[in-house]
């Protein structure tokens, strides 16, 4: 099945004022396409958490969102330190976020668990010192 739409966004690190722009834009596009509010909310939450993670932990990266008739696929590829222990990172409450990030109201260790909870599939590939790629799909 061909993709109906492909969207690409650049995410820069440490730019909290712009974090959320990709999620907001995807949300608007899905609304225009008439996707159900429940799916839009799950996409928005999963993508925003991913976007914030790229800002907090990585040195930026790229988000690609493809929309087909069956599903929405979100690929978040960052240049970053990688995740040493994915199982630990998936645990609710585990966080390596620095204090400045916690002061903004993040860093509660809910990012990856929220991403998992809101997507139908999540696949994380990571290489220490190179970066992490997270692929999430949400069925339509």
Partner 1 sequence: MKVSDISKDGNFTLLTPTVSLDKDVDKLFCCDLLSIAMGKAPSGSCWVTVMSNVNTLAVATLTDVSCIVLAEGVTMDDTLKAKAASEDVAVFTTELPIYDAAKLIDSLR
Q: Interface with partner 1 by CB under 8 A: which residues? A: 16-17, 19-20, 23-24, 27, 37, 41, 44-45, 48-49, 52, 104-111, 114, 117-118
CA-angle at 13, arms to 8 and 93, nearest 5°: 100
Shortest separation between residue 124's beta carbon and partner 1, angstroms: 18
Element holding 135 (H helix, E strand):
strand 131-139
Return the structure tokens found at 96: 């390596």
Shortest separation between residue 2's beta carbon and partner 1, angstroms: 28
Q: Smaller CB distance to partner 1: residue 17 or 32?
A: 17
Q: Measured between alpha carbons, how far is 90 from 105 in angstroms, rounded to an integer?
A: 19
Shortest separation between residue 25's beta carbon and partner 1, angstroms: 11
Q: Measured between alpha carbons, how far is 90 from 84 in angstroms, rounded to an integer?
A: 12
Q: Smaller CB distance to partner 1: residue 2 or 105?
A: 105
Q: Smaller CB distance to partner 1: residue 15 or 127?
A: 15
Q: Smaller CB distance to partner 1: residue 52 or 58?
A: 52
Shortest separation between residue 136's beta carbon and partner 1, angstroms: 15
Q: How many helices (H) and strands (E) does the chain have?
A: 5, 5
Rounded to a whole number, what is the distance in angstroms from the first to the last CA of the chain? 14
């Amino acid at each position: 099945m061909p993709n109906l739409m492909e969207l690409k966004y650049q995410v820069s690190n440490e730019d909290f004022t712009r974090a959320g722009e990709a999620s907001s834009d995807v949300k608007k596009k899905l609304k225009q396409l008439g996707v159900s509010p429940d799916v839009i909310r799950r996409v928005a939450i999963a993508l925003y958490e991913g976007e914030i993670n790229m800002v907090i932990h990585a040195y930026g990266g790229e988000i690609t969102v493809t929309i087909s008739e069956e599903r929405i696929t979100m690929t978040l590829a960052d240049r970053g330190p990688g995740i040493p222990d994915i199982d630990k990172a998936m645990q609710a409450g585990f966080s390596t976020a620095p204090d400045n990030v916690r002061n903004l109201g993040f860093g509660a260790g809910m990012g990856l668990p929220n991403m998992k909870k809101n997507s139908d599939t999540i696949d994380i590939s990571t290489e220490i010192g190179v970066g992490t790629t997270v692929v999430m799909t949400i069925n339509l």
